[in-house]
């Protein structure tokens, strides 16, 4: 299968002194098209919208297959195959297994500049199995798979893929120059996919990247996110009979528990925006054996990556102290390092215009009743069950409490994103309510709106060199006044083969 088209002006040039004017001159020399008129733009939108409408049942069926057979990060083989099949039918060439991950891929159509990327995610969350019903009930017929799409990634991947296919068909029919790419990015929930894809340089030659996410409201994410490091600490001790000869053993679990105590004391001395969370992934086999191995998995977050770097050093020191206290050895592995999201004003304004063109999802009485039932037990249930309008674009970037590996892309290329209402208003992220709505018409209405908005935005970028240049200017200006993150990933480290 063909590799993605490599353009003559990769984004890495921007960091080595090539000016915006020089790139624009290069574009003119290569025959860059002038901005399209309003009539041409509306014709392209209509072509993309019509294709999405004609494929709506196919797209719903793809979502259902992904939703009914959820796959956790780095295991999304069926999901990747489903999306690749859609893209190949639409005329894309696909390179699979990129950046050392079997379920990562890049699909390309067209040639030349501009090069516009759309990001797709499709991993599920463990322990969130849920039926498409308005009460907590695990999905039927799949006892060996406790995962669920409690973050809406089945509709995310399907909508992004549909947007790329629709935009390409409209662009090809109109004879537009440029390249469209769909990036299949696995393991977003653990921050792995885009982290390693960015490090492999797969986004370097993009002119702009677009993304979306399922949400309880429809709004452009003109925002900063939290940076996060995912790191595991594995303690090694010595097994012994826990009753007959405990003095002969060295408990690795003691090391984990002492470390966790130290980390919890550290919380008092962190900035307000910092977060520390952990799970014990290995606590020993059974109580009468002194555990010779034990492991704890930490997420360390803050609004700025340099604060995460500071927290990481403190936590590493705590791990070493716990090893000394328990007379064990400790080893660490950093699986991912996610940067805060770098916002982009021109791309945010573009997505806002497209949201207003397409309109928010419209839900019927049955869907409102379904969502209202999922709100039972909420401490403060909103007055509405579903959100049916569009939040105005904020004047300034806001901070969101979550993290996303889109952040790593946003430090390489101008990046814009949005949320589209796809589940119960007020539902917490990673909840059964999200999984339930994603598996039925509520989530699928959001999916179709997102596909139309992303396709329209991609077409605008293909047709308007001034918009691409404005996004680049904003990107360069933010880089100039921001402290660029320094990755804590070891140089040359490959992605993990599995999450745990």
Q: Which two tokens stand for residue 399?
A: 């901070």
pLDDT at position 4 over 60: no
| pLDDT mean across residues, the chain | 93
| Sequence ranges of the chain with CATH classification 3.30.70.360 | 227-338
pLDDT at position 40 over 50: yes
pLDDT at position 399 over 70: yes
List pLDDT tens digits, range 268-323: 999 999 999 999 999 999 999 999 999 999 999 999 999 999 999 999 999 999 99
Residue 228 · residue 305 · CB < 8 Å: no
User: From CA 152, how far away is CA 421, in angstroms rounded?
Assistant: 11
- Name the class of domain 227-338: alpha beta
The superfamily (CATH) of domain 11-225+340-480 is Zn peptidases (3.40.630.10)
Average pLDDT of 70-79?
98
Average pLDDT of 18-41?
49
Residue 500 pLDDT: 67
| Sequence ranges of the chain with CATH classification 3.40.630.10 | 11-225+340-480
Residue 141 pLDDT: 83
User: From CA 23, how far away is CA 17, in angstroms rounded?
Assistant: 11
Residue 352 pLDDT: 98
List pLDDT tens digits, range 413-430: 999 999 999 999 999 999
The H or E element containing residue 314 is helix 305-326
Residue 315 pLDDT: 98
DSSP label of 16: G
Sorting pLDDT into bands at 50, 70 and 90, what band is 12? very low
Q: Which two tokens stand for residue 217?
A: 């409201």
Percentage of the chain exceeding pLDDT 90: 89
Residue 354 pLDDT: 98
Where would I find the beta strands (DSSP E) of 15-146? Answer: 93-96, 105-111, 115-120
Average pLDDT of 208-233?
98
Q: Which pTM does this prediction carry?
A: 0.91
Residue 439 · residue 235 · CB < 8 Å: no
Residue 36 pLDDT: 66
* CB burial of residue 438 (10 Å; 0-12, 13-18, 19+): buried
Sorting pLDDT into bands at 50, 70 and 90, what band is 15? very low
């Amino acid at each position: 299968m063909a590799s993605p088209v490599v353009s003559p002006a990769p984004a890495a040039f921007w960091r080595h002194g090539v000016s915006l004017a020089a790139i624009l001159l290069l574009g003119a020399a290569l025959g860059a098209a002038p901005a399209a008129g309003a009539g041409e733009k509306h014709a392209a939108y209509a072509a993309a919208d019509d294709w999405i409408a004609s494929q709506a049942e196919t797209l719903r069926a793809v979502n259902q297959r992904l939703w009914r057979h959820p796959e956790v990060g780095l295991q999304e083989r069926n999901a990747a195959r489903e999306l690749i099949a859609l893209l190949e039918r639409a005329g894309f060439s696909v390179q699979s297994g990129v950046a050392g991950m079997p379920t990562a891929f890049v699909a390309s159509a067209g040639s030349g500049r501009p090069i516009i990327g759309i990001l797709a995610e499709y991993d599920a969350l463990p322990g969130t199995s849920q039926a498409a019903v308005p009460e907590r009930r695990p999905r039927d017929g799949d006892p060996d798979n406790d995962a669920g799409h409690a973050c809406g990634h089945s509709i995310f991947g399907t909508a992004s893929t549909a947007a790329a296919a629709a935009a390409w068909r409209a662009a090809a029919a109109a004879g537009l120059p440029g390249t469209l790419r769909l990036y299949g990015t696995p393991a977003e929930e653990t921050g792995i996919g885009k982290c390693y894809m960015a490090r492999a340089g797969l986004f370097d030659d993009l002119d702009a990247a677009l993304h979306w996410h399922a949400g309880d409201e429809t709004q452009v994410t003109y925002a900063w996110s939290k940076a996060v490091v995912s790191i595991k600490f594995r303690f090694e001790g010595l097994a012994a009979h826990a009753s007959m000869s405990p003095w002969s053993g060295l408990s690795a679990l003691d090391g984990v528990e002492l470390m966790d105590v130290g980390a919890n004391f550290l919380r008092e001395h962190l900035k307000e925006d910092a977060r520390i969370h952990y799970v014990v992934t290995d606590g020993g086999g059974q109580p009468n054996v002194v555990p010779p191995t034990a492991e704890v998995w930490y997420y360390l977050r803050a609004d700025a990556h340099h604060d995460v770097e500071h927290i990481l050093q403190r936590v590493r020191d705590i791990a070493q102290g716990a090893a000394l206290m328990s007379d064990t050895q400790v080893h660490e592995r950093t699986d991912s390092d996610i940067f805060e999201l770098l916002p982009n004003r021109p791309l945010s304004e573009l997505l806002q215009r497209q949201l207003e063109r397409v309109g928010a999802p419209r839900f019927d009485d049955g869907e409102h009743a379904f969502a209202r039932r999922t709100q039972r037990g909420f401490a403060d249930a909103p007055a509405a069950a579903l959100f049916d309008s569009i939040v105005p674009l904020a004047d300034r970037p806001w901070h969101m409490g979550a993290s996303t590996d889109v952040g790593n892309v946003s430090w390489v290329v101008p990046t814009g994103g949005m949320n589209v209402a796809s589940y119960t208003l007020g539902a917490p992220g990673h909840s059964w309510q999200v999984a339930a709505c994603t598996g039925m018409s509520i989530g699928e209405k959001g999916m179709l709106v997102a596909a139309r908005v992303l396709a329209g935005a991609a077409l605008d970028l293909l047709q308007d060199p001034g918009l691409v240049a404005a996004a680049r200017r904003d990107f360069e200006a933010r880089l100039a006044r921001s402290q660029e993150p320094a990755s804590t990933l070891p140089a040359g480290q490959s992605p993990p083969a599995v999450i745990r």
